[in-house]
Structure 1
Amino acid sequence: MTALALLLTVAGLLYLMCAVLDLRLALALFCTLLPTYLLRFALPLPFGPLDALPSTLLEVFFWILFLTWLLVGRQPRKKPKVTAAKNMTNDHDLRRWMPGLVLLLLGASVGVLIAPNLISALGIWRAYFLEPILFFFLFADLVRDARTRRMVLGTLGLTLAAVGTVAIVQKLTGWWIPNPVWRDEATRRVTGFYGFPNGIGLMAAPVTVLMAAWTADLARKVRRGRNLTWPLLAGASALLGLAAILFAVSEGAALGVAVGLLTYGLLSRPLRKYALIGLIAACALTLAYAPLRNYASLMLSMRDDSWQVRQTVWSESLDMIADRPVFGAGLSGYPDALTTYHLARHIEIFQYPHSLLLNFWTETGLIGLAGFLALLWSFFVSVGSTFRRRPDEWLPQALLAAMVALLVHGLVDVPYFRNDLAFLFWILIGLAASLRLSTVTTKKKRLKSE
């Protein structure tokens, strides 16, 4: 047995023990383990067209968690024991998510059938669609109370803190930065675990907004005599995440965080006036300070080099989609399909078109794009409904702000088509569903008591 195989076996057995003993703790730990998708290997197959199945350590952890949940199940009190899968059929409120979920999975499945590389497409279908969607059902079943939600948020904050810590070390030393241009002190851009600067921002933007919002809520509770430890930890995580984004020079992520924080500030009644004051001050500073004014003018006019590249990529992608508007290029088919339309030879053909909506359209066609938009609609309706019922609850506002940050970043990048990012998106969806389910349950209990 090789050292890698031994490591995987030990890690899998330890996680299995945790899942059997406490499924909710195992779920929370899974959120900390999202970066383990970077540990890739091939599982040997005894039969079939492939000698080995490409996989990641994150997938191993997922299937351990999912199968344990499926077999052990959630056992509600005062009811006959049933499996978790049967429990899910009784959750009528989850039906609001089904149209988007089904359309997205259907679009991805069609994308497999028309893909130029079937094996690669099946891998993407499994890792970016099937597994995260199954995870959503698991998440919605297990995360039904404030304590479990805090566990999930805490472990996400721990992951963000780890990313931020590595980013600070890289900024100071240049260690583990693969590209010499990024490693050079004059042009240094940190890469974290991910090997490229924007990899940090894709994960950090929505989680930084969540941690900042949680810090604000915990800080208000400190004034009522609560413990100071948790707001300090959440605040440290948010600051580390922001530092990672800035040191990576991820402009799309920074813009997403700024808009997300502004959204949270405007939605939160205690913070609204401070958000407005901050917005006015930021606008005044931008107008008064020439370097900021010039930078804002450059960005808004789209004369920056990165904007020029993206405009070219978007234009060529739209030309390609115009010839295949219904089904797109299929999963993993974008680079091959774009070859005919790629006229700007000085720009490489990227894996994706650097736009979240274009990405879903090219990979999953109109069916998958419609499913993604339906999921977003359900998300905003669900969180908005919870917000109206519980206007003093911070998490609905924070989830709205985090999704806004993700979507703003998605205007210029693709914060979904990566193993950890797909799970992170469905964690946001799962938290929204969890809040809604707990609100409905609380309302039913109150009506029964009356």
Structure 2
Amino acid sequence: MTAAAQPGPIATRRLQPALLAGMSLALLLFYQGGALVPALLGLAIFGALALWRADLALLFVPLTVPLYMIPGALPGIRARGFDLPLHEAALLLAFVATAARWLWGRVARHAGSGAHGPAPAALLRQYAPHALFLLAGLLGVALAQARGPALIEFRRLIAEPLLFYALARWHGRATMRRLVAALVLAGALAGLLGLLQYAGLDLVPLLGRKQCFAPDGGVCANVIADGGVRRVLSVYGHPNNLGLFLERAWPLAAALALVGFRTRRQALRTGVVARRDGAWRFVLAACLSLAGIVVSFSRGAWLGTLAAAAVLAIGLAWPRAARDRARALRLAWLLGLGAAVLVLAGLSLSVRGDLRGGSTPVRLLLWREALGYIRLHPLGIGLDQFGIYHDPRSPLSLIDPALVGTSEQFAAHPHNLLLDIWLRLGPLGLLAFGWLIVRFLRAVLRYADQPLLLGAAAAMVAALAHGLVDSFYFFSDLAIVFWLLVALAEVLGSTP
């Protein structure tokens, strides 16, 4: 995938803060305008600025994706209005701007320069798992009993994340660190809002109305009591969703901090005056994300955080150990043993529940039910269909009677990444995910001395560990993070 040419003059780079501020204000006008004309004006201004710097517009996708449950709106377009999450608006406008700049460049060069892209066979080899993932998504729509929800999920969790991945690859290495920094900032802000909620100050209602699932149809609480503890939701609909996002964000913040500290140390050695690297700001961002994980009281997120911390610690120790082959081998065995212990701990937490038996049988009942659907539908049941099959009023339901009348009656997924992927995308989806993750790990291991790749590996391990007992991919923020990690590994780990 060819990287797009970005404006190069120093004057243009000096305008970056002004452009980012203008884009932020434009999105704010769309988000809080309260009427159709201000909302459209905000989108128009953002789109115009994106035409100048589409790579900067793309940064607002990971920055705003945690707000997917508090979308913007275009009132008056239809009776109920038209909800549009901020990250979707930013993604679509960044795509339009990128495509427009590419077309303009083709016209300016008269499209006759004789330049040729990679051969089709090479493209197929490079992007085969990505294409397989898209094919599995189309099959997930075709198999769905309820086609409407499946099409919506295909757009939000298959097509749009793939589009984000393509744009991230297109804009190349220079944009990748900025995208990671935007994600880190999003995690820090989500964690900060959660901390303020825990302290008694809830600022989230100022952002808008959260689309959540209050039993009475009213405004959802942002702090809930569960098992004797207060759990915060921040901008999400459940504390576990907050933990799922933050466990992916903090390792990347730690990696960016490490990059900054290494840059500073190298500058001190050479006597060169380094520009401000922001290392301590990334340390603060990591701490805010970690604090948000703590007050979410998500045991799965705690497990993911421990797994990520282990990867970071071993990754930092590996270069010294690798000088001694025996030490490196012992470290590899330690890594494998630690991973096995964490996996067993996660399964134990889920299967046995807490000491008071909170979630003891729930996961087992959901897993048994999901396996029943797989036996009946080996190709899967389609995108966003688990809640429909799980509904005890449905003739298709295999729900255990013990779950009827509890909150788990409304579960939207089986709380296990393998079962969830199989049910939504079938065996093709499992193959695509496995292929992508193996490629990711190979790239990371090949260039493990790069801090950003080490942070990406820690984030992916956290996602996999927590995914054993919860969701792994099928939320808007998790999908965007997954494809950002894939793009990061491909750009930094496979490009000279």
Normalising to structure 2: TM-score of the pair? 0.73
Cα 1:3/1:420, change in 2 over 3 Å: same
1:302 aligned partner, one-letter code: R
> What residue in structure 1 maps to residue 231 of structure 2?
189
Cα deviation for residue 223 of structure 1 reads: 3.3
Cα 1:192/1:92, change in 2 over 3 Å: farther
2:409 aligned partner, one-letter code: E
2:177 aligned partner, one-letter code: R
Q: 1:332 aligns with which of 368, 380, 384?
A: 384
1:11 aligned partner, one-letter code: G
1:330 aligned partner, one-letter code: G
Alignment of 1:129-140 (within 5 A): 129-140=158-169
Cα deviation for residue 303 of structure 1 reads: 4.6
Cα 1:184/1:397, change in 2 over 3 Å: closer
- Tell me if structure 2 keeps the 8 A contact 1:167–1:192: yes
Q: 1:313 aligns with which of 366, 373, 383?
A: 366
Cα deviation for residue 180 of structure 1 reads: 8.3
> What residue in structure 2 maps to residue 422 of structure 1?
479
Alignment of 1:335-354 (within 5 A): 335-338=387-390, 339=392, 340-343=397-400, 344=402, 345=404, 346=406, 347-354=408-415
Cα 1:270/1:407, change in 2 over 3 Å: closer
> What residue in structure 2 maps to residue 8 of structure 1?
39
Cα 1:394/1:182, change in 2 over 3 Å: same
- Tell me if structure 2 keeps the 8 A contact 1:174–1:184: no
> What residue in structure 2 maps to residue 396 of structure 1?
453
1:141 aligned partner, one-letter code: W
> What residue in structure 2 maps to residue 108 of structure 1?
137
Higher RCO (CA-CA < 8 Å; seq separation 6+): 1
Gaps of 5+ in 2: 1-29, 206-219, 269-273, 322-329, 338-344
Q: 2:441 aligns with which of 376, 380, 384?
A: 380
Alignment of 1:21-420 (within 5 A): 21-40=52-71, 55-73=84-102, 89=118, 95-145=124-174, 148-173=175-200, 175=202, 178-179=220-221, 182=224, 187-224=229-266, 225=268, 226=274, 230-269=278-317, 299=349, 302-304=352-354, 305-326=358-379, 328-338=380-390, 339=392, 340-343=397-400, 344=402, 345=404, 346=406, 347-385=408-446, 387=447, 392-420=449-477
1:19 aligned partner, one-letter code: A
235-244 or 185-194: bigger deviation:
185-194
> What residue in structure 2 maps to residue 448 of structure 1?
none
Q: Distance in 1 between matches of 2:224 and 2:239?
A: 8
Cα deviation for residue 259 of structure 1 reads: 0.7
2:197 aligned partner, one-letter code: Q
Q: Distance in 2 between matches of 1:260 and 1:269?
A: 14
Cα 1:352/1:301, change in 2 over 3 Å: closer
Q: Distance in 2 between matches of 1:181 and 1:42?
A: 25
- Tell me if structure 1 keeps the 8 A contact 2:351–2:363: no
Cα deviation for residue 384 of structure 1 reads: 2.8
Q: Distance in 1 between matches of 2:466 and 2:303?
A: 7
- Tell me if structure 2 keeps the 8 A contact 1:203–1:415: no
- Tell me if structure 2 keeps the 8 A contact 1:190–1:248: yes
Cα deviation for residue 198 of structure 1 reads: 1.1
Cα deviation for residue 335 of structure 1 reads: 2.0
Cα 1:56/1:87, change in 2 over 3 Å: farther
Cα 1:332/1:437, change in 2 over 3 Å: same
2:438 aligned partner, one-letter code: W
Q: Distance in 2 between matches of 1:179 and 1:34?
A: 21
Q: Distance in 2 between matches of 1:173 and 1:185?
A: 19
Q: Distance in 2 between matches of 1:93 and 1:379?
A: 18
> What residue in structure 2 maps to residue 288 of structure 1?
none
RMSD of aligned C-alpha atoms?
A: 3.7
> Identity of aligned pairs, percent?
28
2:362 aligned partner, one-letter code: V
2:385 aligned partner, one-letter code: G
246-255 or 215-224: bigger deviation:
215-224
164-173 or 207-216: bigger deviation:
207-216
Cα 1:196/1:154, change in 2 over 3 Å: same
Q: Distance in 1 between matches of 2:222 and 2:76?
A: 39
58-67 or 235-244: bigger deviation:
58-67
In the alignment of these two chains, the number of paired residues is 412
Q: Distance in 2 between matches of 1:312 and 1:70?
A: 48
- Tell me if structure 1 keeps the 8 A contact 2:418–2:430: yes
Q: Distance in 1 between matches of 2:227 and 2:35?
A: 34
1:258 aligned partner, one-letter code: L
Q: Distance in 2 between matches of 1:400 and 1:350?
A: 29
Q: Distance in 2 between matches of 1:102 and 1:116?
A: 24
- Tell me if structure 2 keeps the 8 A contact 1:140–1:430: yes
Normalising to structure 1: TM-score of the pair? 0.80
Cα deviation for residue 174 of structure 1 reads: 5.7
Cα 1:324/1:270, change in 2 over 3 Å: closer
Gaps of 5+ in 1: 284-294, 440-450
Q: Distance in 2 between matches of 1:174 and 1:94?
A: 51
Cα deviation for residue 247 of structure 1 reads: 0.3
- Tell me if structure 1 keeps the 8 A contact 2:319–2:449: no
1:357 aligned partner, one-letter code: L
Q: Distance in 1 between matches of 2:236 and 2:170?
A: 31
Cα 1:238/1:81, change in 2 over 3 Å: farther
1:60 aligned partner, one-letter code: A
Cα deviation 1:239-297 (Å, max 9, x = unaligned): 00000011000111121121112112212247878xx99xx9xx9xxxxxxxxxxx999
Cα deviation for residue 54 of structure 1 reads: 5.7
